[in-house]
Structure 1
């Protein structure tokens, strides 16, 4: 399907309800991861997508993001991700996803699960990482609801999400934001873990198709980092990366 690519859309833009909006967290150190994530989404999608990169530099230039980077922020989008509802103009549904994902299934299957009863929907992980560092030596922090915010479906028009203004996102604590503390527990819907399959944590049961990953999350680090070049599912990411390079070469020629 076709896509619309932007850095991030103006809140004033009117979006077609037929186009599903996806915001991917962007960090300059993980440009390859971003490109592969985007490619995998588009390749499998049967519905039109509007994909936007959440780039901190652009948000700062637009005076939407101004908080100082803290020692526990492993990526540039650790907090800017929570601007997703604001960037849609608080309209409709949208998804935020970390750039270290690889999609193996049609995102339309996930969109079909959207339920207006909830303010957000995500995988309710029970995750306590064993490693003390991740990616390129970034500190691995442990907190309740860890990785819930790494892939979130936002009901952007939900009244509670109107609280996620630039002022709040730039001033609130990591605990408040990553634990969804602006919401009640019953306002946080659940989706199957296969849509945020944590490499090194979630397991595939060959006799249970529901355990097969539809979105692989290289949460500790992916094969674009030398340290993780042999991680589980690295072959799938590398194959996608090569496919993308060949497509770009064909377009260039």
Structure 2
């Protein structure tokens, strides 16, 4: 199979990514590509909370990270499978902010600044050392100081509001970004209460599962499930989604 980049005849380097190693870390998929259509359908089906109207994907990028980062993820997955008997790999969403123009220009150039969370993940994957006060300036983390993911695109939507920008071709619409990510959950700890200060799950566990109806904070329990991992080798971003909407209630 050859690279999906137009007119490129190089062999792909990964069956999941469909790109050769000569092209950019992130590359835009045409809207007619079967993978774009498949991802769009999943993204919209996973939008389970009615907190935004007329949601649609504007652009979709595959992400290529350095072989060293990918290999660390594969090794982590292998060890979890060896130790636990199953790896529990899931495709989950992660919402975050961005400050570059990747969604507002006809290029796939990254701004490569320290202020752009989106570019940082595209270039270097996730980094547990950057976990702390989030982009909404709230230090509260229901499942502790980890990297958070959810099976609901509508839940991940909230965490990118600081990077919302007008859609260049239609200012009546607003853009945000989101990542689809492979996450190895392994043996999941299922706390009933908030574990804000946790920096790892208890011994014998590999991740934390925030279940619906549990982990109350201020009288409110979780309405949509989420997961936290505490090792960035447990997650690998695979797609960068640029989406727009006409209005939102978060």
TM class by shorter-chain length?
Answer: under 0.3
Give the TM-score of the pair, scaled to structure 1: 0.27
| Structure (1 or 2) with the larger CA radius of gyration | 2
More strand as a share of residues: 2
* Structure showing greater relative contact order (alpha-carbon pairs closer than 8 Å, 6 or more residues apart): 2
TM-score (norm 2): 0.28
Q: Which has the higher helix share?
A: 1
